Amino acid sequence: MGRYSFMTFEREGETLYRLIDRAANGLVEITAACGMNVIRYSWQGQELILSPPSLAALREHPTRYGIPVLSFPGSTEQGKLVHRGVTYTLPPNRGPHHLHGEIGRLPWKVLKVGADEEHGAFITACYAYTDDPERFAYFPHAVQYTMTYRLKEGSLSLEVRAENKGERYAPFALGFHPYFRLTGGKERIHVQIPAWAEWEYDNAGHALHIQSDRKTAELLRRGARLNTVEPRLYVLECRNPETVDEACYSFQIVDEAASLQMEYEVDSQFSKLVLFLPEWSNAISLEPHTCVPNAFNLSLSPSETGALELAPGEINRLNWTISARRTQPLLPRHTSKRSKPDRADIAKAVDFINRHITERLSLQTIARQANLVPSYFSTVFKKEMKESLVDYMNRRKIETAVELMKVSRYSNQELCDRVGIANEAYFCALFKRKMGRTPGQYRKLMLF
Protein backbone atom coordinates (compact mmCIF):
# COMPACT_ATOMS: atom_id res chain seq x y z
CA MET A 1 0.00 0.00 0.00
CA GLY A 2 1.36 3.43 -0.99
CA ARG A 3 1.88 6.49 1.14
CA TYR A 4 -1.24 8.30 -0.10
CA SER A 5 -4.83 7.12 -0.39
CA PHE A 6 -8.41 8.35 -0.22
CA MET A 7 -11.78 7.03 0.78
CA THR A 8 -15.43 8.06 0.89
CA PHE A 9 -17.69 7.37 3.83
CA GLU A 10 -21.09 8.32 5.17
CA ARG A 11 -21.87 10.44 8.21
CA GLU A 12 -25.28 11.78 9.19
CA GLY A 13 -26.59 10.79 5.77
CA GLU A 14 -23.90 12.75 3.93
CA THR A 15 -20.95 11.59 1.82
CA LEU A 16 -17.59 12.76 3.12
CA TYR A 17 -14.17 12.49 1.49
CA ARG A 18 -11.01 11.56 3.37
CA LEU A 19 -7.46 12.18 2.11
CA ILE A 20 -4.73 10.14 3.82
CA ASP A 21 -0.95 10.55 4.15
CA ARG A 22 0.31 7.53 6.08
CA ALA A 23 3.93 8.64 6.37
CA ALA A 24 2.96 11.94 8.01
CA ASN A 25 0.11 10.35 9.99
CA GLY A 26 -2.06 12.97 8.32
CA LEU A 27 -5.64 13.05 7.13
CA VAL A 28 -8.11 15.56 5.78
CA GLU A 29 -11.90 15.27 5.72
CA ILE A 30 -14.02 17.36 3.35
CA THR A 31 -17.73 17.82 2.81
CA ALA A 32 -18.63 18.73 -0.78
CA ALA A 33 -22.31 19.02 0.15
CA CYS A 34 -21.59 21.99 2.43
CA GLY A 35 -19.34 24.29 0.46
CA MET A 36 -16.26 22.08 0.03
CA ASN A 37 -15.45 22.77 3.66
CA VAL A 38 -12.38 21.10 5.17
CA ILE A 39 -13.91 19.93 8.43
CA ARG A 40 -10.86 18.05 9.69
CA TYR A 41 -7.11 18.29 9.22
CA SER A 42 -4.90 16.11 11.39
CA TRP A 43 -1.10 15.90 11.33
CA GLN A 44 0.97 13.51 13.47
CA GLY A 45 -2.09 12.91 15.61
CA GLN A 46 -2.56 16.65 16.22
CA GLU A 47 -5.88 18.19 15.20
CA LEU A 48 -5.05 21.45 13.44
CA ILE A 49 -8.50 22.66 12.39
CA LEU A 50 -11.59 23.27 14.53
CA SER A 51 -14.05 20.54 13.51
CA PRO A 52 -17.81 20.95 13.82
CA PRO A 53 -19.47 18.91 16.60
CA SER A 54 -21.83 17.56 13.94
CA LEU A 55 -22.74 18.13 10.31
CA ALA A 56 -26.05 19.52 11.51
CA ALA A 57 -24.13 22.17 13.46
CA LEU A 58 -22.09 22.98 10.35
CA ARG A 59 -25.19 23.38 8.22
CA GLU A 60 -26.68 25.71 10.83
CA HIS A 61 -23.47 27.77 11.12
CA PRO A 62 -21.48 27.14 7.91
CA THR A 63 -18.80 29.76 8.68
CA ARG A 64 -18.06 28.71 12.27
CA TYR A 65 -15.99 25.57 11.68
CA GLY A 66 -13.36 24.07 9.40
CA ILE A 67 -12.19 26.12 6.40
CA PRO A 68 -15.22 27.81 4.80
CA VAL A 69 -14.83 29.42 1.37
CA LEU A 70 -16.16 32.99 1.13
CA SER A 71 -17.37 34.90 -1.93
CA PHE A 72 -17.94 37.72 -1.44
CA PRO A 73 -15.93 37.80 1.81
CA GLY A 74 -16.87 40.07 4.67
CA SER A 75 -19.98 42.18 5.03
CA THR A 76 -21.60 43.91 2.05
CA GLU A 77 -23.55 46.94 3.20
CA GLN A 78 -27.32 46.54 2.71
CA GLY A 79 -26.49 43.65 0.39
CA LYS A 80 -25.82 46.16 -2.41
CA LEU A 81 -22.73 45.79 -4.58
CA VAL A 82 -21.89 48.17 -7.43
CA HIS A 83 -19.50 47.28 -10.24
CA ARG A 84 -19.10 48.99 -13.63
CA GLY A 85 -22.38 50.79 -13.10
CA VAL A 86 -24.31 47.61 -12.35
CA THR A 87 -25.94 47.15 -8.93
CA TYR A 88 -26.15 43.61 -7.55
CA THR A 89 -28.58 42.88 -4.73
CA LEU A 90 -27.37 40.08 -2.49
CA PRO A 91 -29.83 38.48 -0.06
CA PRO A 92 -29.48 39.79 3.52
CA ASN A 93 -28.24 37.18 5.96
CA ARG A 94 -26.84 39.32 8.80
CA GLY A 95 -29.48 41.89 9.64
CA PRO A 96 -29.86 44.12 6.57
CA HIS A 97 -26.40 43.18 5.28
CA HIS A 98 -24.96 40.26 3.33
CA LEU A 99 -22.09 38.35 4.97
CA HIS A 100 -19.48 36.07 3.35
CA GLY A 101 -21.48 35.01 0.27
CA GLU A 102 -23.23 31.68 -0.16
CA ILE A 103 -20.93 29.31 -2.03
CA GLY A 104 -19.43 28.17 1.27
CA ARG A 105 -22.67 26.49 2.30
CA LEU A 106 -23.90 25.19 -1.08
CA PRO A 107 -23.22 21.80 -2.72
CA TRP A 108 -20.19 21.52 -4.99
CA LYS A 109 -19.81 19.01 -7.81
CA VAL A 110 -16.95 16.58 -7.22
CA LEU A 111 -14.97 16.10 -10.43
CA LYS A 112 -12.15 13.82 -9.33
CA VAL A 113 -10.68 12.14 -6.26
CA GLY A 114 -7.31 10.41 -6.43
CA ALA A 115 -4.00 9.57 -4.80
CA ASP A 116 -0.51 8.80 -6.06
CA GLU A 117 3.11 9.47 -5.09
CA GLU A 118 3.48 12.45 -7.44
CA HIS A 119 0.30 14.34 -6.59
CA GLY A 120 -0.44 13.15 -3.06
CA ALA A 121 -4.08 12.60 -2.09
CA PHE A 122 -6.43 15.10 -3.69
CA ILE A 123 -10.01 16.05 -4.48
CA THR A 124 -11.24 18.46 -7.18
CA ALA A 125 -14.70 20.00 -7.21
CA CYS A 126 -16.46 22.95 -8.85
CA TYR A 127 -19.27 25.41 -8.32
CA ALA A 128 -20.86 27.27 -11.27
CA TYR A 129 -23.41 30.04 -10.93
CA THR A 130 -25.05 28.91 -14.16
CA ASP A 131 -25.91 25.60 -12.46
CA ASP A 132 -27.63 27.43 -9.60
CA PRO A 133 -30.71 29.38 -10.78
CA GLU A 134 -31.34 30.96 -7.37
CA ARG A 135 -27.86 32.51 -7.09
CA PHE A 136 -27.64 33.23 -10.83
CA ALA A 137 -30.74 35.40 -10.50
CA TYR A 138 -28.84 37.99 -8.42
CA PHE A 139 -25.36 37.31 -9.83
CA PRO A 140 -25.99 36.64 -13.56
CA HIS A 141 -22.44 35.72 -14.58
CA ALA A 142 -21.07 32.48 -16.00
CA VAL A 143 -18.39 32.37 -13.29
CA GLN A 144 -17.10 28.97 -12.21
CA TYR A 145 -14.87 28.11 -9.28
CA THR A 146 -12.79 24.92 -9.44
CA MET A 147 -10.88 23.96 -6.30
CA THR A 148 -8.37 21.20 -5.65
CA TYR A 149 -7.46 20.28 -2.11
CA ARG A 150 -4.25 18.30 -1.84
CA LEU A 151 -2.62 16.49 1.09
CA LYS A 152 1.05 15.90 0.34
CA GLU A 153 4.06 15.48 2.63
CA GLY A 154 1.84 16.35 5.57
CA SER A 155 0.83 19.75 4.17
CA LEU A 156 -2.63 20.76 3.01
CA SER A 157 -2.70 22.92 -0.10
CA LEU A 158 -5.44 24.51 -2.15
CA GLU A 159 -5.44 25.46 -5.81
CA VAL A 160 -8.30 27.68 -7.05
CA ARG A 161 -9.26 28.33 -10.65
CA ALA A 162 -11.81 31.14 -11.06
CA GLU A 163 -13.05 31.44 -14.63
CA ASN A 164 -15.46 33.85 -16.30
CA LYS A 165 -17.07 31.89 -19.15
CA GLY A 166 -19.47 34.72 -19.94
CA GLU A 167 -19.30 37.79 -22.15
CA ARG A 168 -19.50 40.47 -19.44
CA TYR A 169 -17.08 41.69 -16.78
CA ALA A 170 -17.86 40.15 -13.42
CA PRO A 171 -16.87 41.48 -9.97
CA PHE A 172 -14.55 39.03 -8.26
CA ALA A 173 -13.70 38.53 -4.60
CA LEU A 174 -12.60 35.45 -2.69
CA GLY A 175 -11.67 34.60 0.86
CA PHE A 176 -11.27 31.72 3.30
CA HIS A 177 -12.14 31.44 6.96
CA PRO A 178 -9.91 28.74 8.54
CA TYR A 179 -10.23 28.10 12.26
CA PHE A 180 -6.89 26.95 13.69
CA ARG A 181 -7.43 24.85 16.79
CA LEU A 182 -5.42 25.86 19.88
CA THR A 183 -4.52 23.72 22.88
CA GLY A 184 -2.90 26.19 25.26
CA GLY A 185 -3.96 29.41 26.91
CA LYS A 186 -3.50 32.69 25.06
CA GLU A 187 -0.31 33.40 26.99
CA ARG A 188 1.25 30.34 25.31
CA ILE A 189 0.11 31.18 21.78
CA HIS A 190 2.32 33.30 19.54
CA VAL A 191 1.16 34.79 16.24
CA GLN A 192 3.08 36.59 13.55
CA ILE A 193 1.40 38.34 10.63
CA PRO A 194 3.17 40.42 7.94
CA ALA A 195 0.76 43.32 8.46
CA TRP A 196 1.64 46.73 7.06
CA ALA A 197 -1.42 48.60 8.33
CA GLU A 198 -4.88 48.17 9.84
CA TRP A 199 -8.19 49.16 8.29
CA GLU A 200 -10.77 51.18 10.19
CA TYR A 201 -14.28 49.72 10.01
CA ASP A 202 -17.76 50.62 11.21
CA ASN A 203 -19.97 48.75 13.69
CA ALA A 204 -21.24 46.43 10.96
CA GLY A 205 -17.71 45.43 9.92
CA HIS A 206 -17.60 47.48 6.71
CA ALA A 207 -14.13 48.78 5.90
CA LEU A 208 -13.71 52.56 5.80
CA HIS A 209 -10.07 53.51 5.34
CA ILE A 210 -6.53 52.56 6.40
CA GLN A 211 -5.62 53.82 9.85
CA SER A 212 -2.68 56.17 10.25
CA ASP A 213 -1.74 54.45 13.51
CA ARG A 214 0.60 51.54 12.67
CA LYS A 215 1.15 50.23 16.23
CA THR A 216 -1.09 47.16 15.93
CA ALA A 217 0.35 46.24 12.56
CA GLU A 218 3.88 46.61 13.88
CA LEU A 219 3.09 44.46 16.92
CA LEU A 220 1.69 41.64 14.77
CA ARG A 221 4.46 41.97 12.22
CA ARG A 222 7.12 41.55 14.91
CA GLY A 223 5.09 38.78 16.55
CA ALA A 224 2.93 38.80 19.66
CA ARG A 225 1.57 36.51 22.30
CA LEU A 226 -2.18 36.20 21.94
CA ASN A 227 -2.89 37.44 25.46
CA THR A 228 -1.39 40.80 24.45
CA VAL A 229 -3.75 41.11 21.47
CA GLU A 230 -7.07 42.82 22.23
CA PRO A 231 -9.92 40.35 21.56
CA ARG A 232 -11.67 42.12 18.67
CA LEU A 233 -11.92 41.90 14.90
CA TYR A 234 -8.85 43.04 12.96
CA VAL A 235 -8.89 43.91 9.25
CA LEU A 236 -5.23 44.01 8.26
CA GLU A 237 -3.46 45.19 5.15
CA CYS A 238 -0.46 43.05 4.19
CA ARG A 239 0.46 44.81 0.95
CA ASN A 240 2.94 47.60 1.49
CA PRO A 241 2.58 50.04 -1.44
CA GLU A 242 6.07 51.36 -0.82
CA THR A 243 7.80 48.04 -1.53
CA VAL A 244 7.96 45.48 -4.30
CA ASP A 245 4.90 43.21 -4.33
CA GLU A 246 5.39 39.99 -2.38
CA ALA A 247 5.07 36.59 -4.06
CA CYS A 248 3.15 35.35 -1.04
CA TYR A 249 2.34 36.14 2.58
CA SER A 250 3.16 33.82 5.45
CA PHE A 251 1.25 33.75 8.73
CA GLN A 252 2.68 31.90 11.73
CA ILE A 253 1.03 30.39 14.81
CA VAL A 254 3.11 28.80 17.58
CA ASP A 255 1.23 26.74 20.17
CA GLU A 256 3.78 26.16 22.92
CA ALA A 257 1.53 23.79 24.87
CA ALA A 258 1.47 21.45 21.88
CA SER A 259 5.10 22.15 20.80
CA LEU A 260 3.55 22.99 17.43
CA GLN A 261 4.13 25.63 14.78
CA MET A 262 1.58 26.14 12.00
CA GLU A 263 2.34 28.15 8.90
CA TYR A 264 -0.30 29.49 6.55
CA GLU A 265 1.23 30.67 3.28
CA VAL A 266 -1.14 32.42 0.89
CA ASP A 267 -1.04 33.78 -2.64
CA SER A 268 -0.15 37.50 -2.84
CA GLN A 269 -3.65 38.21 -4.18
CA PHE A 270 -4.85 37.52 -0.63
CA SER A 271 -3.38 40.83 0.54
CA LYS A 272 -6.01 41.46 3.22
CA LEU A 273 -6.25 39.44 6.41
CA VAL A 274 -9.02 39.35 8.98
CA LEU A 275 -7.93 38.16 12.42
CA PHE A 276 -10.81 36.80 14.47
CA LEU A 277 -10.97 35.07 17.87
CA PRO A 278 -14.22 33.06 18.15
CA GLU A 279 -16.10 33.09 21.42
CA TRP A 280 -17.37 29.52 20.99
CA SER A 281 -14.02 27.72 20.99
CA ASN A 282 -10.31 27.91 21.75
CA ALA A 283 -9.25 28.76 18.22
CA ILE A 284 -7.95 31.58 16.05
CA SER A 285 -9.17 32.42 12.58
CA LEU A 286 -6.75 33.98 10.10
CA GLU A 287 -8.88 34.86 7.08
CA PRO A 288 -7.06 35.69 3.83
CA HIS A 289 -9.24 37.85 1.58
CA THR A 290 -8.61 39.35 -1.83
CA CYS A 291 -10.46 42.50 -0.75
CA VAL A 292 -11.60 44.34 2.36
CA PRO A 293 -15.21 44.02 3.53
CA ASN A 294 -17.61 46.13 1.40
CA ALA A 295 -14.76 46.84 -1.05
CA PHE A 296 -16.96 47.43 -4.10
CA ASN A 297 -18.90 50.19 -2.36
CA LEU A 298 -15.90 52.25 -1.27
CA SER A 299 -14.76 55.37 -3.07
CA LEU A 300 -11.13 54.24 -2.86
CA SER A 301 -9.27 52.74 -5.81
CA PRO A 302 -9.41 48.97 -6.47
CA SER A 303 -5.64 48.81 -5.91
CA GLU A 304 -6.32 49.92 -2.33
CA THR A 305 -9.49 47.95 -1.59
CA GLY A 306 -8.68 44.80 -3.57
CA ALA A 307 -11.95 44.99 -5.54
CA LEU A 308 -11.11 42.74 -8.49
CA GLU A 309 -12.94 41.65 -11.63
CA LEU A 310 -12.87 38.85 -14.14
CA ALA A 311 -12.86 39.90 -17.78
CA PRO A 312 -14.78 37.77 -20.28
CA GLY A 313 -12.84 34.54 -20.76
CA GLU A 314 -10.38 35.41 -17.96
CA ILE A 315 -9.02 32.76 -15.60
CA ASN A 316 -7.59 33.73 -12.23
CA ARG A 317 -5.56 31.21 -10.24
CA LEU A 318 -4.96 31.46 -6.51
CA ASN A 319 -3.46 29.13 -3.92
CA TRP A 320 -2.50 28.64 -0.31
CA THR A 321 -0.79 26.01 1.87
CA ILE A 322 -1.04 25.04 5.52
CA SER A 323 1.88 23.15 7.04
CA ALA A 324 2.93 22.17 10.55
CA ARG A 325 6.06 21.15 12.39
CA ARG A 326 7.14 20.45 15.93
CA THR A 327 8.87 23.25 17.78
CA GLN A 328 11.56 23.19 20.40
CA PRO A 329 10.92 24.64 23.85
CA LEU A 330 12.23 28.07 24.85
CA LEU A 331 15.38 26.44 26.20
CA PRO A 332 16.82 23.25 24.74
CA ARG A 333 16.19 20.12 26.77
CA HIS A 334 19.13 17.95 27.71
CA THR A 335 17.69 15.17 29.79
CA SER A 336 20.81 13.06 29.36
CA LYS A 337 23.07 15.88 30.58
CA ARG A 338 23.87 16.68 34.20
CA SER A 339 23.87 20.10 35.83
CA LYS A 340 25.57 19.03 39.09
CA PRO A 341 28.51 16.60 39.01
CA ASP A 342 29.30 14.24 41.86
CA ARG A 343 33.00 15.15 42.03
CA ALA A 344 33.71 18.27 44.06
CA ASP A 345 36.58 19.37 41.78
CA ILE A 346 34.42 19.21 38.66
CA ALA A 347 31.57 20.93 40.51
CA LYS A 348 33.94 23.76 41.35
CA ALA A 349 34.92 24.06 37.69
CA VAL A 350 31.28 24.05 36.56
CA ASP A 351 30.46 26.80 39.05
CA PHE A 352 33.39 28.82 37.73
CA ILE A 353 32.17 28.37 34.13
CA ASN A 354 28.63 29.44 35.00
CA ARG A 355 29.85 32.55 36.81
CA HIS A 356 32.16 33.50 33.95
CA ILE A 357 30.09 32.24 31.00
CA THR A 358 30.11 35.72 29.42
CA GLU A 359 33.91 35.57 29.16
CA ARG A 360 36.21 33.73 26.75
CA LEU A 361 37.59 30.96 28.93
CA SER A 362 40.46 28.66 28.01
CA LEU A 363 40.74 24.98 28.90
CA GLN A 364 43.80 25.71 31.00
CA THR A 365 41.98 28.38 33.04
CA ILE A 366 39.04 26.08 33.76
CA ALA A 367 41.22 23.05 34.54
CA ARG A 368 43.12 25.07 37.14
CA GLN A 369 39.88 25.49 39.10
CA ALA A 370 39.81 21.69 39.55
CA ASN A 371 43.56 21.39 40.14
CA LEU A 372 43.78 18.94 37.21
CA VAL A 373 45.95 18.87 34.13
CA PRO A 374 43.93 19.98 31.06
CA SER A 375 43.86 16.66 29.20
CA TYR A 376 42.75 14.66 32.23
CA PHE A 377 40.27 17.36 33.23
CA SER A 378 38.56 17.10 29.82
CA THR A 379 38.18 13.32 30.23
CA VAL A 380 36.79 13.55 33.76
CA PHE A 381 34.48 16.45 32.86
CA LYS A 382 32.84 14.51 30.02
CA LYS A 383 32.39 11.44 32.23
CA GLU A 384 30.78 13.51 34.98
CA MET A 385 28.62 15.83 32.85
CA LYS A 386 27.73 13.44 30.00
CA GLU A 387 28.89 16.02 27.47
CA SER A 388 32.21 17.52 26.48
CA LEU A 389 33.52 20.75 27.97
CA VAL A 390 33.07 22.54 24.63
CA ASP A 391 29.49 21.32 24.25
CA TYR A 392 28.64 22.33 27.80
CA MET A 393 30.09 25.82 27.41
CA ASN A 394 28.39 26.34 24.04
CA ARG A 395 25.06 25.22 25.45
CA ARG A 396 25.37 27.55 28.43
CA LYS A 397 26.37 30.46 26.20
CA ILE A 398 23.32 29.97 23.98
CA GLU A 399 21.04 29.59 27.02
CA THR A 400 22.48 32.86 28.33
CA ALA A 401 21.91 34.52 24.96
CA VAL A 402 18.28 33.40 25.01
CA GLU A 403 17.78 34.87 28.48
CA LEU A 404 19.31 38.16 27.30
CA MET A 405 16.99 38.21 24.27
CA LYS A 406 14.02 38.05 26.62
CA VAL A 407 14.87 41.31 28.34
CA SER A 408 16.25 43.47 25.52
CA ARG A 409 16.51 43.64 21.74
CA TYR A 410 20.23 42.98 21.49
CA SER A 411 21.82 42.66 18.07
CA ASN A 412 23.66 39.47 17.22
CA GLN A 413 27.01 41.19 17.70
CA GLU A 414 25.94 42.52 21.11
CA LEU A 415 24.93 39.00 22.12
CA CYS A 416 28.32 37.71 20.97
CA ASP A 417 30.06 40.26 23.16
CA ARG A 418 27.90 39.38 26.17
CA VAL A 419 28.37 35.61 25.98
CA GLY A 420 32.02 35.58 25.04
CA ILE A 421 31.86 34.41 21.41
CA ALA A 422 34.24 36.22 19.10
CA ASN A 423 32.65 35.51 15.71
CA GLU A 424 29.06 36.50 14.84
CA ALA A 425 28.74 33.93 12.06
CA TYR A 426 29.85 31.17 14.43
CA PHE A 427 27.39 32.42 17.06
CA CYS A 428 24.50 32.30 14.56
CA ALA A 429 25.45 28.82 13.37
CA LEU A 430 25.79 27.59 16.95
CA PHE A 431 22.47 29.17 17.92
CA LYS A 432 20.67 27.48 15.04
CA ARG A 433 22.26 24.11 15.89
CA LYS A 434 21.18 24.36 19.51
CA MET A 435 17.77 26.01 19.09
CA GLY A 436 16.66 24.79 15.68
CA ARG A 437 16.35 28.29 14.18
CA THR A 438 18.41 31.43 13.64
CA PRO A 439 18.49 34.21 16.25
CA GLY A 440 16.28 36.35 13.99
CA GLN A 441 13.71 33.60 13.57
CA TYR A 442 13.76 32.90 17.30
CA ARG A 443 13.10 36.54 18.15
CA LYS A 444 10.08 36.60 15.85
CA LEU A 445 8.56 33.26 16.79
CA MET A 446 9.19 32.83 20.48
CA LEU A 447 10.07 35.95 22.39
CA PHE A 448 7.26 38.48 21.89
Q: d(Cα 315, Cα 318) in Å, to the nearest integer?
A: 10
What value, to the nearest 5°, has the Cα angle with vertex 133 and ends 129 and 139?
50
Do both 370 and 265 map to the same domain?
Answer: no
H/E element, 442:
helix 439-446
Residue 331 located in a structural domain: no
Do both 356 and 313 map to the same domain?
Answer: no
pLDDT above 70 for 407: no
Residue 318 located in a structural domain: yes
Count of structural domains within the chain = 2
Averaging pLDDT over each range in 46-50, 188-192, 237-241, which range is the top one? 46-50
Q: d(Cα 335, Cα 225) in Å, to the nearest integer?
A: 28
- Please return the burial class of 40, using the count of CB atoms within 10 Å of its CB with bins 0-12, 13-18 and 19+: buried
Averaging pLDDT over each range in 160-169, 212-221, 371-380, which range is the top one? 160-169
**Amino acid sitting at position 97:** H
Q: d(Cα 306, Cα 210) in Å, to the nearest integer?
A: 13
CB count, 10 Å around CB of 10? Answer: 8
Q: d(Cα 42, Cα 322) in Å, to the nearest integer?
A: 11
Do both 317 and 434 map to the same domain?
Answer: no
- Please return the burial class of 56, using the count of CB atoms within 10 Å of its CB with bins 0-12, 13-18 and 19+: exposed
Q: 1-10, 173-182, 272-281, 436-445: lowest mean pLDDT where?
A: 436-445
Beta-sheet strand order (sheet of 26-31): 4-11, 14-21, 26-31, 37-43, 46-47
Residue 414 located in a structural domain: yes
Residue 338 located in a structural domain: no
Judge whether 233 and 201 are in contact, CB under 8 Å: yes
Q: What is the pLDDT of residue 444?
A: 67
Give the mean pLDDT of 79-108: 95
Last residue of a domain, one of 291, 326, 361: 326
Q: What is the pLDDT of residue 334?
A: 42
Do both 318 and 276 map to the same domain?
Answer: yes
Last residue of a domain, one of 295, 326, 357: 326
Listed in sequence order, the residues at least 6 apart from 38 whose beta carbon sits closer than 8 Å to its beta carbon are: 28, 29, 30, 49, 66, 67, 149, 156, 178
Q: Give the confidence band of 52 by pLDDT, cuts at 50, 70, 90.
A: very high
pLDDT digits (tens, 9 = 90+) for 97-143: 999 999 999 999 999 999 999 999 999 999 999 999 999 999 999 99
Do both 320 and 354 map to the same domain?
Answer: no
Last residue of a domain, one of 272, 293, 326: 326
pTM, 2 dp: 0.74
H/E element, 57:
helix 55-60
Do both 37 and 147 map to the same domain?
Answer: yes
Residue 333 located in a structural domain: no
Do both 316 and 355 map to the same domain?
Answer: no
Residue 398 located in a structural domain: yes
Its domain, for residue 285, covers 4-326
Give the mean pLDDT of 144-167: 98
Residue 237 located in a structural domain: yes
Q: d(Cα 329, Cα 333) in Å, to the nearest integer?
A: 8
Q: d(Cα 252, Cα 265) in Å, to the nearest integer?
A: 9
Do both 294 and 371 map to the same domain?
Answer: no
3-class DSSP state of 412: helix
pLDDT above 90 for 298: yes
**Amino acid sitting at position 358:** T
Q: d(Cα 377, Cα 383) in Å, to the nearest integer?
A: 10
Q: d(Cα 397, Cα 272) in Å, to the nearest integer?
A: 41
CATH number at residue 429: 1.10.10.60
Do both 316 and 366 map to the same domain?
Answer: no
Residue 332 located in a structural domain: no
Chain centre to alpha carbon of residue 428: 25
Do both 397 and 435 map to the same domain?
Answer: yes
pLDDT digits (tens, 9 = 90+) for 308-344: 999 999 999 999 999 999 875 544 444 445 566 778 8
CATH number at residue 118: 2.70.98.10
H/E element, 147:
strand 143-152
Do both 118 and 255 map to the same domain?
Answer: yes
Do both 126 and 79 map to the same domain?
Answer: yes
Q: d(Cα 135, Cα 416) in Å, to the nearest integer?
A: 63
Q: What percent of the chain is helix, strand and coil (3-state, nearest 5)?
A: 25, 35, 40
Please, where are the H alpha helices in 306-423? 344-355, 363-369, 374-385, 389-407, 412-419
* DSSP states of 218-262: HHHHH-EEGGGS-SS-EEEE---TTSPPPSEEEEEEEEGGGTEEE
Q: What is the pLDDT of residue 332?
A: 43
